[in-house]
Structure 1
Amino acid sequence: MPDLPGRRLHRKICTRPTVGRLPCWPISARCLRGRCDAMLTTLWQWITDPNLQWILMGSLLLGLGSGVIGSFTYLRKQSLLGDALAHAALPGICIAFMLSGVKSVGLFMLGAILAGMAATFGISAITRYTRIKQDAALGIVLSVFFGIGIVLLTQIQHSGNGNQSGLDKYMFGQAASMMLADVYLMGAVSVLLIAICALLFKELKLVSFDPGFARGMGLNVAFLEQLLLLMTVVAVVVGIQAVGVVLVAALLITPAVAARYWTDALGVMVVLAGAFGALSGVTGTLISSTLSNLPTGPVTVLAATALFFVSAVLAPNRGLLAKWIRRWRSRSEIQQPMELAMIRQAGNTVNAAERGAE
């Protein structure tokens, strides 16, 4: 039977020199061979490109670790702390480059960690020895350290050192610059952070919800708080290369906030936050690799923000849609008896009027 123009829904073969003969099942007559070839080419590039594999794995591990640590930071109402630590890491990176003269991720991480710890000590000193509250102290430290970092970065750019090219990418991140060694480092740090959270989950849970009760139970609350702070610093520093000092706090907090809409259990929230962070990293990497001239870090943050909006609207208990449905049902339950009462009252009034007329 000859093929008719409107009935060409038979099996086709998409042939590529590097892919081989792969089956292509068009869903309609409009599925052209060019589109199928483009999709197969893009898929083959994703599978075989080592650089994309490294970036994808690094973004996944970064989102996973950031989501887990961000859950405890969010529950302790220290969301702004991650932003302050991220901005404080910039002068540490600049000082590490000025002292070494080379772009080494390990040295940059060491400098960023030291700068982050200095920022935390500064915040603690301001809140302890002055009447300034913690939110104001966070804003002061964030502005001062970030200003110092911008000044140092400007000096480095005008120093004439040839190795300084690309150093400004730490402002907004450059995931494309990640190498296999960077991915190994991110993976080791993420696994270490997740392992610590799993081993000390009960203790961290008590410290996050009720430090006074944890202190009464005999726990070393000061040590656990400093440990959480150190893990937050490490998570922020690890994410700077991919997301940048400006946006890394969003990757730390947004998955945790999105996960909070779906559950009231801390364990489930931590798992969901890690999954949302990993999904954001993978989505941002795939979108930025498909569409040209899109940086991976900002796209990853936008993907996490999209997950937040979806959670805020569609979550079964805390979502806006569920709240609207419950409000509509309760209003209907209240209005129905009132309408019945009004009908009865109207009927009684009519009966009374008829009896009066008689």
Structure 2
Amino acid sequence: MASKLKLFWMLPVSFLLLSNCLHNGANAAPQVPCYFIFGDSLSDNGNNNNLKTLAKVNYLPYGIDFPEGPTGRFSNDRNMQDVIVEYLGFQNYMPPFARAQGRSILKGVNYASGSAGIRDESGKQLGDRIPLNEQLKNHKIIISRIRQILRNDTSTRKLLNQCIYSIQIGSNDYINNYFVPEFYNTSRQYTPEQYAAVLVEQYSHQIKVLYGHGARKFALYGIGLIGCTPYAISVYGTNGSPCVDKLNTNATLFNERLMPLVKELNTNLTDAKFTYLNPSPSPQDVLSFVTNSTCCEVGGGGGELCVRNSKPCSDRSRFVFWDAVHPTDAWNELLAESAYRTNSTSEAHPFNIQTLAKLK
């Protein structure tokens, strides 16, 4: 079963969240009937737990602040999608596909998988994972179960048309593919510009598969500053820059292809709504966080994850990075707040999650 939502207290922005919940009423209906999550470790909440992979975190200190303890979330507590689910008014988090059952699937499912990518091979050097193509197949399974519950194709289609489909993926196609030439030949096959084009072209087809299954509200996330993670800095070096420029440049190339795709999809698929998201906390928030070190002792997984049963930092509300790649709950909360309500067109275009939820 999914965990009951918590009250928030860690940061000043939490009071905005709490106020919003109280304003809407504890038992108010969610802003959308269902929420489906696709992606990688930034969104995974347990789908990798039983896979043979280094990319799983069902052990302490992961989940040290989560009511259920270690669940497979790559954080000390919630991931960003968990917080967005709270903003949208759901009483429970979306269950991972690996454990999704019963009528809970009518409110949504989380298909995300650590180390997964747009390309099927991305992350294979870490072991098993569920690439986006497989996540789409898993969604078809859930749709068939929903159809059995509702006993009506029309009702199923109507429900799916109202859901938000959140997809945050692509980082592993770089950090666990293009930039590890000892395992992959993509960097020898493609220039950075060509690779971004190939990725977004494949991504476009995958998005349209979801559209064909009834999805009509899409939240498509750009790739963040993957060159600023402690892991990237330690592996590649920065040559005097604050971050690894080549990683961030490639992420930007991907994002610059994704933004026009969103516009194209909105133009051509007029009965659907697509938005591009790349949330970022304000400079003032950044100044109050530790950005250059991890909260936990790293060395697990492929070298970027927390060491099993190690003791993390005590003030986890002050750190951006939980391990060498993934954010803390505190940072995820700020990212989610931005995705949900920002008015910045560089962070959400043409609309934020709050507006997307209201659109018919």
Smaller-chain TM-score range?
A: under 0.3
Q: Which has the larger radius of gyration?
A: 1
* TM-score, L = length of structure 2: 0.23
Higher RCO (Cα < 8 Å, 6 or more apart): 1
The structure that is strand-richer by fraction is: 2
